[in-house]
A and B are shown apart, each in its own frame.
Chain A
Amino acid sequence: MTFTTVAAPRSYARTPRRGPVTRLLEDERWLAIVLLLPTVVLLGLFIAYPFIKGIMLSVTDTKVGVPGHFVGLQNFVNVWHDGIFRVAVWNTCIYTAIATIFKLALGLWLAVLLNNNFKGKAFTRAFILLPFIIPTVLSTLAWKWMFDPTFSVINWGLYRLGIIDHRINWLGDPDLALISVIIVNVWRGVPFFAISLLAGLQTISPELHEAAAIDGARAWQRFRHVTWPLLLPVTLVVMLFSVIQTFADFQLVYVLTGGGPANATQLFSTYAYQIGIGTGLLSQGATISLAVFPVLLVVVIVQLFYIRKAETH
């Protein structure tokens, strides 16, 4: 047998001197700063600056083209007494609550289905993502067409099936408009739930289901006692993201109804846009936007608390 000779480690004194930049980056403190810098710049520029600017705007009476003066909390008082604002708050809550519940239920259902083995699994999983990857404005325009009082394919289908005998004015009727907008939001949001929950499901060992099956648990009991509790942390995180996004949803409503008819689908963001950009009352718009902040903060804190609790259990 032959042995190759192993070279003795070179002593540090003989290693060639490294350049000043290399030496600086060898220092973990400097390296940390260098690595954090891009993120800090991006977040500062696009999140922190607009946020602070928003707060500053909200305490002035700035309008487009008119530099404002400090007015204290006057804008907040105005908003508080604004009937449309209250409608928008109510709509946003309803919109978020109902859409999230349906997205969760349908997403979970899809995820459980997709977690099974079947032919064309990979294709279906990719296909499911379509509503999520099509630009929202594009898909929403398609929905607008489907909800059109004259050309609605939904109406046509329901009529042919004999379910309705007159045209339904999906986006024109105040009650139906909110429902329609929620339907589109659910349609667009389900893939995110489905794929995220599917990822969560795949971390649950199939052995646990087998053990439960041998233990005498039927399909529903296995879901109730094994799948659901183990999926809960993922579910809560997905819901957290979804609630934040739905609460601040804009494009969908803007394209479909613009907040109408008669503010029936007016949300926080669409109203803030309408006042701030549409009417040019920048400070008032900023105030409406900021009003979302405490609500979302509470939601986030409560959910993070539950996530931590679910994870330690």
Chain B
Amino acid sequence: MAEVALQNLNKNFDEVYAVRDVNLAIHDKEFIVLVGPSGCGKTTTLRMVAGLESISSGRILIDDKVINDLPPMDRDIAMVFQNYALYPHMSVYDNMAFGLKMRKFDRADIGRRVQEAAQILGIEQLLQRKPRQLSGGQRQRVALGRAIVRHPQVFLFDEPLSNLDAKLRVQMRVELKKLHDWLGTTAIYVTHDQVEAMTLGDRVVVMRDGLVQQVGEPLELYNEPANRFVAGFLGSPAMNFATVRVREADGVLWAENNGIRIRVLGQTAGRLRRHAGEQVTMGIRPEDLHLASAADPLELGFDAVIEVVEKLGSEILLDVAVGETTMVASVEPHVRVGVHEKLRLAINPERLHFFDTTSEVVI
């Protein structure tokens, strides 16, 4: 049982804020992911929870107890570092046992816990080895093992998969998820990889420049981004953006620019109406674009010229020029298209996003 609360949390070095007014209530057993580009304050936030970084102002609570001034060892947390931070001169067993020894567990108990953790992680045969005799993936497991032997209240992960190769990363991602489901310990996970964030997090916190941009379940963030940054950060390939002018004619709302003329429908139109005559940013995800067929109405599509064709096997990504903007469209893998060809793309009208061009907030 552990709930973690961050209240008005700040970290500043004189005028420079690394973390600014972060408020977050993390539920018991929740797996929460802090994601953002480098320098967004996610790691600093995590290190403040760990007690490795002092708190400029605000409070951190674990189970309603303020831990601001507790040293790391008294916070009952465990942390997995990006570079694993295994003690190079100790065997795998000693690495995992170190925290227990420091906390004066008796030998039998230490042995039992290390064995148990090693079994869960499948590293029983490695216990006598030194870290440098292990592969990256194995080191990662040992680092996890060191964290789980203590049965801490909260797990902290600082980009734990970023040093693994792509294939192993996907595999370890799945295992981490299973491990969390099995242990049920509250976890705070930091990453710059939006795929990791989406797949691992019960909830995802998107940060930029020390500020929390949006908090929510992965699909909530993906489908209803609060601002242009979140919209562009989550999803690969990223959302397409185009600057358009909103025009109202005979009660019908159009989003137009040099190359695009799209009719805006439904609730979106309702929200957009008060921006009539203004410039706004329109966002559409690559998978919400498709090759227009005869069934697609003319006002929900636009002409495009193919610039690059990326065949990924499961889909084809078309980099296209639409007027002055470039966009990426994800189309079916069997479509036959070539560079410089002209084609017509149709949109899914329910999946259009509009953002205020200056404040970048969703409309």
Residues of A with Cβ closer than 8 Å to B? 205, 207-208, 210-218, 221, 225-226, 229-230, 313
What are 28 of the A-B contact pairs (CB < 8 Å)?
A205-B83, A207-B83, A207-B85, A208-B87, A210-B79, A210-B81, A211-B79, A211-B81, A211-B85, A212-B87, A212-B102, A213-B51, A213-B71, A214-B50, A214-B51, A214-B73, A214-B78, A215-B73, A215-B98, A215-B102, A216-B99, A217-B73, A217-B98, A221-B102, A225-B87, A229-B89, A230-B89, A313-B89
Which of under 10, 10 to 19, 20 to 34, or 35 or more describes the interface residues of B?
Answer: 20 to 34
A214-B98 in contact (CB<8A): no
B338 near A: Cβ within 8 Å?
Answer: no
Q: How far in angstroms is the closest Cβ of chain A from B59? A: 20
B88 near A: Cβ within 8 Å?
Answer: yes
Interface string of B61-86 (1 = CB under 8 A from A): 00000000001110001110101010
Complex CA distance for A212 and B87, rounded to whole angstroms: 9
B residues within 8 A CB of A212? 87, 98, 102
Tell me whether A210 and B85 are in contact in the complex, defined as CB-CB below 8 angstroms, given that A217-B73, A218-B73, A221-B102 are known contacts: yes
B167 near A: Cβ within 8 Å?
Answer: no
A residues within 8 A CB of B219? none
Which of chain A's residues has its CB closest to B74's CB?
Answer: A216
Which of chain B's residues has its CB closest to A310's CB?
Answer: B89
Q: Name the one of B73, B78, B88, B98 contacting A230, with C-beta atoms under 8 angstroms.
A: B88
Q: Name the one of B77, B85, B88, B98 contacting A225, with C-beta atoms under 8 angstroms.
A: B98
B residues within 8 A CB of A217? 73, 98, 102
Which of chain A's residues has its CB closest to B103's CB?
Answer: A216
Q: How far in angstroms is the closest Cβ of chain A from B185? A: 15
B208 near A: Cβ within 8 Å?
Answer: no
A216-B81 in contact (CB<8A): no
Q: How far in angstroms is the closest Cβ of chain B from A162? A: 42
Q: Name the one of A205, A207, A216 contacting B73, with C-beta atoms under 8 angstroms.
A: A216
Complex CA distance for A213 and B98, rounded to whole angstroms: 11
B residues within 8 A CB of A225? 87, 98
Q: Name the one of A205, A213, A215, A226 contacting B52, with C-beta atoms under 8 angstroms.
A: A213
Given A207-B81, A212-B98, 16 other A-B residues pairs in contact with their CB atoms under 8 A: A208-B85, A210-B81, A211-B79, A211-B81, A211-B146, A213-B51, A213-B72, A214-B50, A214-B52, A214-B78, A215-B73, A215-B99, A216-B99, A218-B73, A230-B88, A313-B89
Tell me whether A213 and B89 are in contact in the complex, defined as CB-CB below 8 angstroms, given that A205-B83, A207-B81 are known contacts: no
Complex CA distance for A208 and B82, rounded to whole angstroms: 12
B52-A210 in contact (CB<8A): yes
Complex CA distance for A8 and B98, rounded to whole angstroms: 61
Tell me whether A214 and B83 are in contact in the complex, defined as CB-CB below 8 angstroms, given that A229-B89, A230-B89, A313-B89 are known contacts: no
Q: How far in angstroms is the closest Cβ of chain B from A22? A: 43
Q: How far in angstroms is the closest Cβ of chain A from B135? A: 19
A residues within 8 A CB of B146? 211, 215
A213-B73 in contact (CB<8A): yes
Complex CA distance for A207 and B52, rounded to whole angstroms: 10
Complex CA distance for A221 and B87, rounded to whole angstroms: 14
The 6 closest A-B pairs by CB, nearest first: A215-B99, A216-B102, A207-B85, A211-B85, A216-B73, A229-B89
Q: Name the one of A205, A214, A218, A230 contacting B79, with C-beta atoms under 8 angstroms.
A: A214
A residues within 8 A CB of B83? 205, 207
